Structure 1
Amino acid sequence: MHQRTDWHDLPESLREAIAARTGAVLAARTVSEGMNSALSAILDTTNGTVFVKGIRTGHPGIVTQAREAMINPHVQPVAPVLLWHIADTTGWDVLGFEHIEGHHPDYAPGSPDLPAVLAAIDALGNLPCPDLPIKDATRWRSYLDGADTEPLSGETLLHTDYNPSNLLIGDGRMARIVDWAWPTRGAAWIDPCCLLVWLIASGHTPEQAEAQVSQTRAWATAPPAGLDLFARANVRLWDEIAGNNPQDWTRRMATAARAWADARLVPLSR
């Protein structure tokens, strides 16, 4: 997780470079949600409001900035529009996006936000997967002890990180998906599964969570063996994340992943 840097603590040269693209900055609000950016702020400018996120150029996480810039033209209108990109000129790599006024969804059972999130997954699933060097679903191979990952393969563009801080619900009927650090090519049903674990961590039973994501079109394409395979991978993935970064939310996710695998009677020793 990055330590946040406020607008007025940025180098003057960077603030000037941003203002050259946005107009004079009248006010700046640091955004606390999210973990992958040192700079995360909403800027009110003479030309309107923009959202900016950035990482210092020496940080290994800078690769995620390039991924977001690369994929953004291909994920409209599901994601906010990237307006500009400042790279390698000020010691920072900064992306400027259209500002979306909205709230992060509540994933609790009965939440009125859930239909908008499911609609966003359906909308993303309808977009063509671009011919770009993005991740492949075989990236979960290391958590599967050499098992055949063919069930995970596919030609659907996936987001894969349904942390509620990565979605915004405004006035429309569909959530907007942000933070495209891990765009992935794979089976269409993987994104509903990624959401499913978050739903369990937010209070759904595994059966309730599956019932929710079954409302997406992609869920109907999921082979039971593929679901079992992905459930096993998620247990190991979230155990690893919680072990390396032991926080309440990572432990909840690890517990949720295991609850889903247990409900599916997935043998975890294989």
Structure 2
Amino acid sequence: MNSWERAERLDADHLTDALYERTGVRLTVEGPCSGGQVGAAYVRWAHGRRSVLKWRPRTARSDLESGPLAVCEALRGAGYPCPATELTAQVGHAVVHVQELLPGAPIHLMDEDGLDQVLALNDLQAGALKAHPGVPSARLYLTRDGPGFCLHEPLRRHSRRTAELERRVRDVGARHPDVLRGDDALHLDFHPGNLLHVDGRITGVVDWDGAARGDRRLDLVTLRFGLHAPGRQSGPGVVERLDALLDALPADVLGPAWAHMSLRMTDWAVRHFTPDEVRHWLDLAERRLG
């Protein structure tokens, strides 16, 4: 167990103790979720069933329940493979919640059949929140900073090329609203690492922490950026097919959605990764913002 895993284990142990004090439910921590996902750990109930413990700092339980958890429940009612929420509690400034552990492993190679399944899931997101008016709309942050992501200043400072990208993002933001209107369910981190499969069949979509209301086609733009991630693989024709679908979208959908993901991924790379990875994301971003 490395130092990060030890720190994560201590956090999870502390939170399960606090959860026991508030609910009387005792959970045993097994360790961080695979992939090093921050804020999530595998836990086991007294009767042996395994689940996923998640926590969100500086969050009110009511906000989580009226936002991401409401999105998941609406989609589950339509047969969408979202994890069920099994337990939720406020622990200080954080919300701790326990979710169903879905079967499967993340998709490492997106093939044509996988893309067909993803597009079918995206269709299920259409209008899923019409009966849930309290779910907030997703913001794009094209002209102002997001809460810890989609930051503009790192792009302005990093290089002439990133500064030009940031200027183009703001230009898109000046011409379009900061939300994509609609009653669709949005995942907002819809990439292959959050899609689980067993023998090629998608069995779950996880990590709904940013879920919100909007236009589901934003998730397809997110998927396109996800397929561009270093080390990510896709089968012959998959990227080309997805590009053709995106190019057929209305300009007032594709433009803001592409600008959002361009800002989001380039900013993150500037602050956390190497110059080569910054160039990697710029190469994709500039294809539709050039």
TM-score (norm 2): 0.67
- Matched to 1:60, the amino acid is R
What percentage of aligned pairs have identical amino acids? 17
Identify if the C-alpha distance between structure 1 residues 186 and 16 changes in structure 2 by more than 3 Å, giving closer, same or farther: closer
- Matched to 2:90, the amino acid is A
Ranges in structure 2 where 5+ consecutive residues have no aligned partner: 145-168
Aligned twin of 1:121:
122
Aligned twin of 2:8:
4
Q: How many pairs align?
A: 251
Does residue 245 (structure 1) correspond to residue 272 (structure 2)? The answer is yes
Aligned twin of 1:98:
100
Ranges in structure 1 where 5+ consecutive residues have no aligned partner: none
Q: Distance in 2 between matches of 1:60 and 1:12?
A: 18
Q: CA RMSD in A?
A: 3.9
Aligned twin of 1:52:
53
1:161 partner SS: coil
- Matched to 2:170, the amino acid is L
- Matched to 1:49, the amino acid is R
Does residue 169 (structure 1) correspond to residue 197 (structure 2)? The answer is yes
Q: Which residues of 2 match residues 64-83 of structure 1 at below 5 A? A: 67-76=67-76, 77-78=79-80, 79-83=82-86
- Matched to 2:68, the amino acid is E
Q: Distance in 1 between matches of 2:116 and 2:22?
A: 36
Q: CA deviation at 1:106?
A: 1.5
Identify if the C-alpha distance between structure 1 residues 11 and 34 changes in structure 2 by more than 3 Å, giving closer, same or farther: closer
Q: Which has the higher contact order (CA 8 A, sep 6+)?
A: 2
TM-score (norm 1): 0.71
Q: Distance in 2 between matches of 1:172 and 1:98?
A: 21
Q: Distance in 1 between matches of 2:227 and 2:139?
A: 21
Q: Distance in 2 between matches of 1:17 and 1:116?
A: 42
Aligned twin of 1:28:
30
Aligned twin of 1:144:
170
Q: 2:212 aligns with which of 184, 195, 199?
A: 184
Aligned twin of 2:159:
none
Does residue 223 (structure 1) correspond to residue 250 (structure 2)? The answer is yes
Q: Contact 2:42–2:53 at 8 Å: present in 1 too?
A: yes
Aligned twin of 1:132:
134
Q: Distance in 2 between matches of 1:255 and 1:107?
A: 23
Q: Deviations over 1:23-80 (max 9, x none)?
A: x65773431335441x41132531633222224xxx4367885543443322314311
